[in-house]
Every structure is written in structure tokens, then in C-alpha cells.
């Protein structure tokens, strides 16, 4: 069999009834440069088998468990076996699958958060280092072109020294008791980790802020709350935070704000200007100035940098959104495999996210005391 021009991947998780697995598959195939060749889609072998059939995979490459998948793929010819593993399971399975994949010689692209807790992430860091393989985390929102533009403006000094940051991720889908597969594992400490809402979506706000500003969050003073009776993990949270270089900010995440859908937003203010971006209107970036009217930066235009131009697929006025941003993450990771380059959100970002969650939980347990993010 000749070498395929496409990067080949296998998936763990994402069987029938799962949401995020199909999102990953749509994103991976959008540009026709990445090919799904195998999978262990569910702990239920019949679910995995049916999912593989629906995806048109060879029956012999649809596995009943991830251990079999790693072992069998590793003995295939190099030009046939998968090159990386996409992990789309609940959080508690991320570490063992990533460990097995890396030790079998496969690159890893994982859903976030990277692991169940910080200690697992620290162990995974050593495995990544020993393997010499690529590890990436699907912080999808870094795939939006105007997020890259915001980062470029901040890095160039375009708004002066950053002073204040507001990061927010607000949803309403858990405002009442919800009985479905997605809610079930996200509200279970054994499968989700020490935090619910903050671990699930607060980590996206944290990652977005650190990425755009290019500075680390160092301390938090957090208040996590469970509003729905009987729920075991936070469904709402807020935190003051401090960043390097004296930057101050607030971060809020909630899944109980009735009527809210997926309202991730970032506002950054410096000495001479500001930036505002919202995921629900991703093709607009608002830039403000101290001495002239605000500027509206729109997606797809030639005035954006060459780096940003490469992230668009359509002309101005043809909105690109979540799937396209996710596809940019997959394209970047495929290019990393081809060139051994770096990723926007790799092991460092993964560790930062787990340390952020640990600090939030500790602070909230200690009456919102200032707590260091230890990485």
C-alpha cells in the first residue's frame, strides 16, 4: 500500500450517543487532509462495532477497547497504521489512554482537561518527554482566526501594557437537573474531577486569557457554588485573578444562567486601548483606542496578517464558526506530525489548566483565600 498523503488517526470514545466525538470527526475531515482509520469508540463493544460500521471503517480496525487498538495498530506496517490518537472520552479516561498511546509510539490529541487531576498531568508530562512524541489539547477556541489577531495585537504593544482582563464563559443548560449522557459524567467527581463547571468550561476562559495576553495567571481568589440541589460538583463559579506583570482580572463561568447558550468572551484593556471578542460572534473583533473611535475588525479580509489568512476558508461575509475553528486545531496538529513543529495548546497548556482547577478548588474551600497556581 503506498503512503497516504493524509495523516491517519484513530479515535478512542465518540461512539453512538456521544456529542463531541462527531464534532472531532467533522473537524478532522473538513479539509480532506486527515483520515480516520480505526477506533475504539465505546466500552460497549457492540456500540463500537456499529459506530465503526456507520463510519465505513474496516471491521478489523474497529476495536473493543483501547488497549487492543494500541497493540494491533502498532504491529501494522508504518504506512498503514494510525499516526495519532484522538481522545474524546470523559475526563477520567484521558490519562490511561494517552499513556497507552504514547508508550505504543503514537502522537496524542486529547480533549480537555488533559487529565482527571494535576498529579496525573505531572506523570503524563514525564511520559510525553520520554516519548519524544507530539501531545496536543483541543482548546477549540484558539482555532478562531480573530483570536490569533487579538494575540498579535497584544504582542505588538498595540493596546499598550495590559492592565485588566475579563474572561467569561456562561451557559444555561444545567440550570435544572438534566438527565442525559453529557450531564451524567460531567457532574460525577469520579469521571469529571474536582470541579464541574470550572473544569469543563472555566478552563477554556483561563486558556483563552493566557493565550491572547501571553502571560501566566499566578493567583486566584475563587468562589465555586452548587446551585442545583443534589449536584455534587460546582455549576457556577467566579474568581479574581492576578497575572504576571501586575495584570489583574476576573473570570466567571456558569452553567445555570437560564437562556444563555455558549457565551465565551474575552475583554482585554491596556494603557492605550482595548480588545473585545465573543465566541458567539467570532468573526468580529472590537478594538478600542484612548484617542479615536473604536475599530471593528472583521474576518477574512486582506488587512489581517499572513498567519491569520491561512486560517480562513471563505471570503469575507461568509461566516466561519465552531467546526472551522476545531478544524484549524486538527490541521495544526497534522502539520506538527509532518514537521515536528509545536502546538498552540500542548503539554504546558494542559498542565496550566489542571493547576488552575486545583487552585480554584483550594481557594473556594478556604473562603476564597488568594491561592497560587502552582506550575
Region 346-373: mean pLDDT is 97
Is the distance from CB of 87 to CB of 135 less than 8 angstroms? no
Going by pLDDT thresholds of 50, 70 and 90, the confidence category of residue 352 is very high
Element (H, E) at 269: strand 263-270
Classify strands 135-137 and 371-372 as parallel, antiparallel or unpaired: unpaired
The CATH number that applies at residue 35 is 3.40.50.720
At residue 122, the 3 state secondary structure works out as helix
Range of the domain at 101: 7-140
Retrieve residue 45's grid coordinates. 463493544
Shared domain for 263 and 357, answered yes or no, is yes
Residue 221 in contact with residue 370, Cβ under 8 Å? yes
Q: Give pTM, 2 decimals.
A: 0.94
Together in a domain, 96 and 189:
no
Does 298 map to a domain?
yes
Question: pLDDT tens-digit profile of 143-199?
Answer: 999 999 999 999 999 999 999 999 999 999 999 998 777 788 888 889 999 999 999
Is the residue at 342 inside a domain? Answer: no
Per-residue pLDDT at 1 = 36
Those residues whose C-beta lies under 8 Å from the C-beta of residue 42, and which sit 6 or more positions away, are 13, 15, 16, 18, 48, 51
User: What does residue 150 show for φ and ψ, rounded to 5 degrees?
Assistant: -60, -45
152 and 230 share one domain: yes
List Cα–Cα distances, 240 to 135, 207, 225, 371, 372, in angstroms.
30, 15, 15, 10, 12
- Both 68 and 121 in a single domain? yes
Domain count along the chain: 2
Please give the backbone phi and psi of residue 74, each rounded to the nearest 5 degrees, phi first: -65, -25
Secondary structure tally for the chain: helices H, strands E: 13, 14
CB 353 within 8 A of CB 138: no
91, 38: one domain: yes
Same domain, 241 and 211: yes
Q: Are residues 92 and 170 in the same domain?
A: no
Q: What is the CATH number of the domain that holds 253?
A: 3.30.360.10
The answer to the question of residue 288 being in a domain is yes
Percent of the chain with pLDDT over 90: 91
Instruction: Determine contact, residues 127/99, Cβ cutoff 8 Å.
Output: yes
Amino acid at each position: 500500500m503506498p503512503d497516504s498523503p493524509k495523516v491517519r488517526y484513530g479515535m478512542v470514545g465518540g461512539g453512538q450517543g456521544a456529542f463531541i466525538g462527531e464534532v472531532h470527526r467533522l473537524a478532522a475531515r473538513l479539509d480532506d487532509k486527515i483520515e480516520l482509520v480505526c477506533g475504539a469508540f465505546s466500552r460497549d463493544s457492540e456500540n463500537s462495532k456499529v459506530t465503526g460500521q456507520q463510519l465505513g471503517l474496516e471491521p478489523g480496525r474497529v476495536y473493543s477497547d483501547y488497549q487492543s487498538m494500541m497493540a494491533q495498530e502498532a504491529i501494522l506496517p508504518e504506512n498503514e497504521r494510525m499516526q495519532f490518537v484522538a481522545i474524546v472520552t470523559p475526563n477520567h479516561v484521558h490519562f490511561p489512554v494517552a499513556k497507552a498511546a504514547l508508550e505504543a509510539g503514537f502522537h496524542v490529541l486529547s480533549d480537555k482537561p488533559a487529565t482527571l487531576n494535576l498529579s496525573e498531568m505531572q506523570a503524563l508530562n514525564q511520559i510525553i518527554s520520554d516519548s519524544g512524541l507530539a501531545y496536543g489539547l483541543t482548546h477549540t477556541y484558539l482555532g478562531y482566526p480573530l483570536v490569533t489577531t487579538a494575540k498579535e495585537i497584544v504582542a505588538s504593544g498595540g493596546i499598550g501594557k495590559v492592565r485588566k482582563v475579563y474572561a467569561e464563559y456562561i451557559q444555561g443548560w444545567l440550570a435544572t437537573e438534566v438527565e442525559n449522557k453529557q450531564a451524567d459524567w460531567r457532574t460525577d467527581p469520579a469521571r469529571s474531577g474536582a470541579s464541574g463547571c470550572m473544569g469543563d468550561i472555566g478552563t477554556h476562559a483561563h486558556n483563552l486569557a493566557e493565550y491572547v495576553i501571553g502571560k501566566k495567571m499566578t493567583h486566584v481568589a475563587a468562589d465555586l457554588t452548587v446551585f442545583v440541589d443534589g449536584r455534587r460538583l460546582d455549576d457556577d463559579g467566579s474568581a479574581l485573578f492576578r497575572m504576571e506583570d501586575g495584570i489583574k482580572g476576573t473570570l466567571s463561568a456558569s452553567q445555570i444562567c437560564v437562556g444563555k447558550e455558549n457565551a465565551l468572551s474575552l475583554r482585554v484593556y491596556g494603557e492605550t486601548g482595548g480588545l473585545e471578542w465573543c465566541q458567539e460572534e467570532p468573526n468580529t473583533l472590537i478594538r478600542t483606542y484612548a484617542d479615536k473611535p473604536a475599530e471593528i475588525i472583521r474576518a477574512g479580509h486582506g488587512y489581517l496578517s499572513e498567519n491569520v489568512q491561512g486560517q480562513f476558508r471563505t471570503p469575507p461575509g461568509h461566516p466561519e464558526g465552531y467546526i472551522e475553528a476545531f478544524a484549524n486545531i486538527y490541521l495544526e496538529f497534522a502539520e506538527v506530525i509532518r514537521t515536528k513543529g509545536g502546538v498552540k495548546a500542548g503539554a504546558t497548556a494542559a498542565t496550566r489548566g489542571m493547576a488552575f482547577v486545583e487552585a480554584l478548588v483550594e481557594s473556594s474551600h478556604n473562603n476564597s483565600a488568594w491561592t497560587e497556581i502552582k506550575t
